[in-house]
Amino acid sequence: MSDTAVLQKTPLHALHLELGAKMVPFAGYDMPVSYPSGIIKEHRQCRESAALFDVSHMGQLRLTGADAAKALETLVPMDVQGLVDGQQRYAFFTNSNGGILDDLMITRRGAENDLLLIVNAACKEADTKHLIAHIGHRCTVQPLPDRALLALQGPKAVQALARLNSGVSALTFMTGMTVRLAGAECFVTRSGYTGDDGFEISVPASMAEALARELLAQPEVGPVGLGARDTLRLEAGLCLYGHDIDTTTTPVEAALTWAIQKVRRAGGARHGGYPGASVIDGQLATGAATKRVGLIGLERVPVREGAIIKDAHGHKLGHVTSGTIAPTVAQPIAMAYLAANHALPNHEVYADVRGKPQPMRVTPMPFTPHHYFRG
């Protein structure tokens, strides 16, 4: 999709051009990868102050009906019925082999039968069809194409957003509420994809540009593109769908078992009942043959996605799924899948970079500490 004429545009497209953004095709949209300040400065803008991201390409869906939460549990291994008003939870759709079809955020809004789902841009059409095909007879699945999505991230995000509505200060990590911002009725969650404090704001598409301009007028806030969004999330140890997780990786292999609540595991009150439950339960009990791990480079050579990981004798152990030189950590970092017996902290492995072995060390994630606001 190199011809921008066939790419979709978010409601902020004209604003991105006005701000001098470098635009690239991404998930069928013409999106800003960076602005004139560049990716490194944008990365630091988020870590040190506040960054505004346009994530309107993401899919927003509303599930309603008395059976909505119960129905959704047949597609995800999460405790959806246990969500309280305003509570948000990370989730993933699974297939019959336990693979991940997509990862998403679920928030209960008000009544138990009103769920907001945020799904990945490249998967939103397939996710919508998946929901309608499997639970459309039990609840109403409503895509929300008339909503835009903005992410305001960083340690000073709360200062900036609270000037528009002081009520947002009451939110804690993974909670949400309906508030008015710049004259628009928005649904705001205190969450994000950077590892820092911040917010994601669902706003009517027609009012998104006005809100974005209001936020950019705050002294703490600068625009940030997809380039820095990727380095930020990688430092935070957060998976990118289609790279670090996909239909061939299970939640156990991907080290995402923390997202499966006890009530949905073997022995739990609502155990199983979702696609691939037997595979995932088996791996939870005995472990998986491969595991997603963090790697830190011992030399200043970047190790990119696709690099083969080997042991000291040249035997293949796995492969890299994401990699960069991390601005905050100031050294090469990567995520990789390794054979489980080599996925041990401080274990030294070698990445094949253009035929030369680059030493790397298995390390816990995140690479830089999370700064979520938990109250």
Tokens 């309107």 belong to 56
Instruction: Please state whether beta strands 29-34 and 22-26 pair in parallel, antiparallel, or not at all (unpaired).
Output: antiparallel
Correct CATH for 60-141 of 3.10.310.30, 3.40.30.10, 2.40.50.840, 3.30.70.1400: 3.30.70.1400
Q: Is the pLDDT of residue 2 over 60?
A: no
For domain 257-363, say whether CATH 2.40.30.110 is its number.
yes
Please give the average per-residue pLDDT across 253-267, as a whole number.
98
Residue 344, both tokens: 């041990």
CA 35 to CA 17: how far, in whole Å?
Answer: 9
Are the folds of 4-53+146-235 and 60-141 the same? no
Report which secondary-structure segment, H or E, holds 132: helix 124-135
Query: What's the confidence (pLDDT) of residue 113?
Result: 83
pLDDT of 342 higher than 50: yes
pLDDT for 293-331, tens place per residue? 999 999 999 999 999 999 999 999 999 999 999 999 999
- Is domain 4-53+146-235 given the CATH code 3.30.420.40 in the classification? no
Domain ranges of the chain: 4-53+146-235, 60-141, 257-363
- Cβ 336 vs Cβ 318: under 8 Å: yes
pLDDT of residue 279: 98
What is residue 68's predicted lDDT score, i.e. its pLDDT? 96
**Count of other CB atoms within 10 angstroms of residue 90:** 15
* Burial of 96 from C-beta contacts in 10 A (0-12 / 13-18 / 19+): exposed
pTM: 0.97
Of the candidates 165, 148, 133, 151, which has an alpha carbon nearest to the alpha carbon of residue 193?
A: 151
Mean pLDDT of 199-211: 98
Q: Label residue 5 by pLDDT band (50, 70, 90).
A: low
Mean pLDDT of 147-171: 98
Cβ proximity of 173 and 190 under 8 Å: yes
Per residue in 27-46, pLDDT tens? Answer: 999 999 999 999 999 999 99
Q: Per-residue pLDDT tens for 81-135?
A: 999 999 999 999 999 999 999 999 999 998 668 999 999 999 999 999 999 999 9
Asked if the model's pLDDT at residue 230 lies above 60, the reply is yes
Mean pLDDT of the chain: 97
How far is 123 from 27, CA to CA, in rounded Å?
9
Alpha carbon of 234 to those of 106, 210, 327: distances in Å?
A: 22, 30, 11
Beta strand 221-223 with 50-54 is parallel
Query: What pLDDT does 110 receive?
Result: 82
Q: Does residue 182 surpass a pLDDT of 60?
A: yes
